[in-house]
Amino acid sequence: MLIQRKSDNIILPSEITPREFVDARRQFLKQLAMGAAGGTGLLEMAGRQAFAQSDSPRKLAATTNSSYVVMDNRTPYKDATTYNNFYEFGTDKSEPAKTAGSLKTRPWTVSIEGEVSKPVKLDLDSLMKMAPLEERIYRLRCVEGWSMVIPWIGFSLSNLIKKVEPTSNAKYVEFTSLADRSQMPGVRDDVLNWPYVEGLRMDEAMHPLALLTFGMYGEVLPNQNGAPVRMVLPWKYGFKSAKSIVRIRFTSSQPKTAWNLAAPHEYGFYSNVNPDVDHPRWSQASERRIGEDGYFTKKRKTLMFNGYSEVAGLYSGMDLRKYY
């Protein structure tokens, strides 16, 4: 039986209208009655696992980790795979689904380098075998003001970090995405300083929520969602979750991230979801849940750290207005 995440309890009744509260509660009870939070019943899971081994090559077997399942309805697959930010394939959200087919995701090598005792170049299969694959249902919120709820498949990045043994100089982790003009039409435009680079502080990267991700909705990642391997950092704005990663580098100084270089006043290094600190162009106080928008659909209140309050300790004593 899947259980409600502990951190979901941080939605205080005082923060939401009685109507929303009643609806959320009703929905949760309905999901319980169906057998699971998030709409995936145990029988369905068992069935999925059973044919995951044998069926289509896209299937990816994983065991649901019930500690990381949000109670919200999952975003329809169609929406999650046709409304994407992946600038290497164009800046329009409908473009990646149309143009990312040209990305060759095998063979694929990820180079682990920098301040580690055991630098290594890993092919995708070796990387995927570093730890058991888990399914986790996470919220992901874009700084543009929309959010989704997606069943991702991967494992905590900490599994990999421990194996490569960072040196005492390793204070940050930098992620670099592929930037290949021949496969990625968007890289011909200089909207960003290619390659796409993102970064985390070491303790953020070690947090169990930081997911090295290979699949979603029971299958390997569609190219437009960052195949064959990406990060998912549910307490940070979507752009921190680099797609199609080819290099993970451990550094002593703070990585220069692509979005921070492009617009330092808009995108800071930390970029934690924070309803109290607005982006210069978009309010961060509320969000539109993709797949449920309609004329009468109310926006949802955005939660501190996107509802993942367990990360708060990483930032204690930091002024989050300054370190945005």
Ligand X SMILES: Nc1nc2c(c(=O)[nH]1)N[C@H]1C(S)=C(S)[C@@H](COP(=O)(O)O)O[C@H]1N2
Shortest Å, Cβ 262 to ligand X = 11
d(CA 66, CA 100): 32
3-state secondary structure of 187: helix
**Tokens linked to 110:** 């990820």
Any bridge partners for residue 172, and if so which?
201, 251
Binding mask 118-147 for ligand X (x = CB under 6 A): ----------------------x-x-----
Q: Is 238 in the site for ligand X (CB under 6 A)?
A: yes
In the window 153-182, what residues touch ligand X (CB under 6 A)?
177
Residues 126-145, interacting with Mo ion (CB under 5 A): 142
Length of the chain: 324
Q: What is the rounded CA–CA span in Å between residue 109 and residue 245?
A: 9
Could you say which of 81, 84, 85, 224 contacts Mo ion (CB under 5 A)? 85
What minimum distance in Å lies between the beta carbon of 132 and Mo ion?
29
The interface partner of residue 241, options being Mo ion, ligand X, none and the CB cut-off 5 to 8 Å by kind, is ligand X
The nearer residue to ligand X, 36 or 143, going by C-beta atoms, is 143
- With the CA atoms of 134, 75, 100 and 110 taken in that order, what torsion angle do they form, in degrees rounded to the nearest 10? -20
> C-beta of 144: minimal distance to Mo ion in Å?
6
Q: In angstroms, what is the minimal distance from the CB of 173 to ligand X?
A: 15
CB atoms within 10 A of CB 299: 14
DSSP assignment of 41-85 equals -HHHHHHHHHHHTTS-TTB---EEEEEEE-SSPPPPHHHHHHS--
Exposure pattern of 101-130 as b/e (b: 16+ CB <10 Å)? eebebeebebebbbbbeeeeebebeebbee
Q: Which of 7, 66, 85, 223 forms a contact with ligand X (CB under 6 A)?
A: 85
Q: Which stretch binds ligand X (CB under 6 A): 99-107, 123-131, 237-245, 268-276?
A: 237-245
Q: Which of ligand X, Mo ion, none does residue 232 bind to, with CB < 5 to 8 Å depending on kind?
A: none
Smallest Cα–Cα separation from 177: which of 197, 193, 192?
197
Does 38 participate in binding Mo ion (rule CB under 5 A)?
A: no
Span interacting with ligand X, options 15-23, 130-138, 233-241, 307-315, rule CB under 6 A: 233-241
Q: Contact letters (x/-) for ligand X, 4-43, by CB under 6 A?
A: ----------------------------------------
Residue 204 tokens read as 């953020």
Closer residue to ligand X (CB): 36 or 70: 70
- Three-class SS of 117-134: CCCEEEEHHHHHCCCCCE
By CB under 6 A, residue 225 contacts ligand X: yes
Q: 114 or 238: whose CB is closer to Mo ion?
A: 238
**Contact of 114 with 219, CB cutoff 8 Å:** no
Question: What b/e readout covers 28-42, taking b as 16+ CB neighbours within 10 angstroms?
Answer: eeebeeeebbbbbee
Q: Quick one: which of 5, 68, 71, 86 contacts ligand X (CB under 6 A)?
A: 86
Rounded-to-integer distance, Cα 121 and Cα 297, Å: 47
Which one of ligand X, Mo ion, none interacts with residue 87, CB within 5 to 8 A by kind?
ligand X
Total site size for ligand X, rule CB under 6 A? 18
Binding of Mo ion at residue 148 (CB under 5 A)? no
Give yes or no for residue 88 binding ligand X (CB under 6 A): yes
The one among 64, 241, 257, 271 contacting ligand X by CB under 6 A: 241
Contact footprint for ligand X (CB under 6 A): 84-88, 140, 142, 148, 177, 196, 225-226, 238-239, 241-244
